[in-house]
Amino acid sequence: MTTAETKKVKKVGDAVLKYTRVSPVTNIFISGLFIILALLCLMPALLVLIVSFSSENSVLNKGYSYIPLQWSVESYAYLLHQSGYITHSFINSIGITLVGTVIGLVLCSTMGYALSRPNYRLRNFFTWFIFIPMLFSGGLVASYMINTQILGMKNTYAALVFPMCCSSFYIIIMRTFFQTSVPDAIIESAKIDGARQIRIFAQIVLPISLPAIATIGLFYTFAYWNDWMLAMYYLNTNRQDLFPMQYVLINLENNIDFLTRNSQFMTPGENTNLPSETVRMTMVVISVVPIACSYPFFQKYFISGLTIGAVKG
C-alpha cells in the first residue's frame, strides 16, 4: 500500500471515529437510561417473587407490595402438598417441550432450506402454499375435527405436540436466512465434490445456521412450555396423566378460587384459609424459573440471530 493510500485510509478512519465517538456526558446519560430501563423490567419480576413469599393476610390487607407485612411460605407449602400431581405434569411438560422443539426445528429448517434453493422447481408453489395459512387460518373447529376425527390424536401426547410443531412464520424466516446468510459458492463447491443435498444440509448449512436455529428453538421452547390451550382442547378431564404443568397450575388456581368463593358453605372444620392470592405468584415463579434457566444456553446464538432474515445492502 502506497503512502497516499495509507493517508486516505487513515483519513476515512478518522472521519468514521469523528461521527461514532460518544462524549463522556452522552455516555453517562445513555448508560443511566439503560440502567433505568433494566430496573423497570426487573421490578415486576421482583414483585412477583416477593409476593410469592408474602402471607395471604399481608396481601389482603396491604395489597401487592415490595415490603410485605409478614413473610410466609404457605403458598409453596400448599403446592408441596400437590407435589405428586405437579411433578408428573412437570415431567410431561419437559418431554413435550423437548420433543416438540426438536420436531419443529427439523420441519422448519428442512423445508426452509428446500424453499431457499433457486433450482427447486416447486419453490414458488410451496412458498405460497405456506404463506397463505399465515393470512387465512382454517379455524379452530376445522383443526379440531381433523386432529381428533381424522388423525385420532385426542387424549394422546401427539395432540400436545403436532398442532404447533410446524409454523409458516418460522419456515419463512429460515428460508430467508438461508438465502441471505449461506453463501451459494459453498454449496456449489460441495456439489462439485460429490456431496448430496442431505450431507450438504447436515454438515455445511446447519453449522452456519446455528444462530437462526437457536433463535427459532428458543421461540418453540417458550411456546410449548407455556401452552395449556391444547390440553384444554384435546384432553379429557380424566386423563390427568397427560396434563402439562401449565394446565395443572391453572386447574389448581381455579380450584382455590372456587373453594374461596364458597367458603361460607364449608363446615368449620375444613381448611378455608387457602392462599388464593399468593399462590398465583408462586405458580408464576415455578413456571418461569425452568425456562429462565434455559435462556443462558441460547443467549450467545440468540443475540447474533436477532437480525435473521434481514436484507443485506
Burial degree of 298 (CB within 10 A; 0-12, 13-18, 19+): middle
The count of domains in the chain is: 2
Q: Does residue 312 fall inside a structural domain?
A: no
Residues 45 and 143 in one domain: no
* Strand residue runs (E) in 208-308: none
Query: Model-level pTM?
Result: 0.77
Calpha distance 106→160 (Å, rounded)? 17
Q: Does residue 28 fall inside a structural domain?
A: yes
- Decide: helix, strand or coil at residue 71: strand
Query: Residue 187's domain is classified under what CATH number?
Result: 1.10.3720.10
Residues 23 and 112 in one domain: no
Average pLDDT over the chain, rounded to an integer: 80
- Stated as kind and residue range, the H or E segment containing 107 is helix 83-116
Between helix 83-116 and helix 245-261 the angle, nearest 10°, is: 140
pLDDT in tens, 157-187: 999 999 998 888 899 989 988 888 888 888 8
- Is residue 252 pLDDT above 90, yes or no? no
Q: How distant, in Å, are the alpha carbons of 141, 214, 299 from that of 97? A: 25, 14, 18
- pLDDT above 90 covers a percentage of the chain that reads 12
- Is residue 101 pLDDT above 90, yes or no? yes
Residue identified by cell 358453605 is: 265
> Could you tell me the pLDDT band of residue 303, with boundaries at 50, 70 and 90?
low
pLDDT in tens, 8-34: 556 655 555 555 666 778 888 888 999
Q: What is the pLDDT of residue 312?
A: 44
Q: Does residue 309 fall inside a structural domain?
A: no
Q: What is the pLDDT of residue 311?
A: 41
Q: Which of 160, 23, 140 lies closest to 92, judged by CA? A: 160
Q: What is the pLDDT of residue 234?
A: 92
Q: Does residue 69 fall inside a structural domain?
A: no
Residues 204 and 298 in one domain: yes
Domain that holds residue 170: 75-304
Residues 18 and 161 in one domain: no
Calpha distance 167→291 (Å, rounded)? 21
Calpha distance 288→44 (Å, rounded)? 13
Calpha distance 63→51 (Å, rounded)? 9
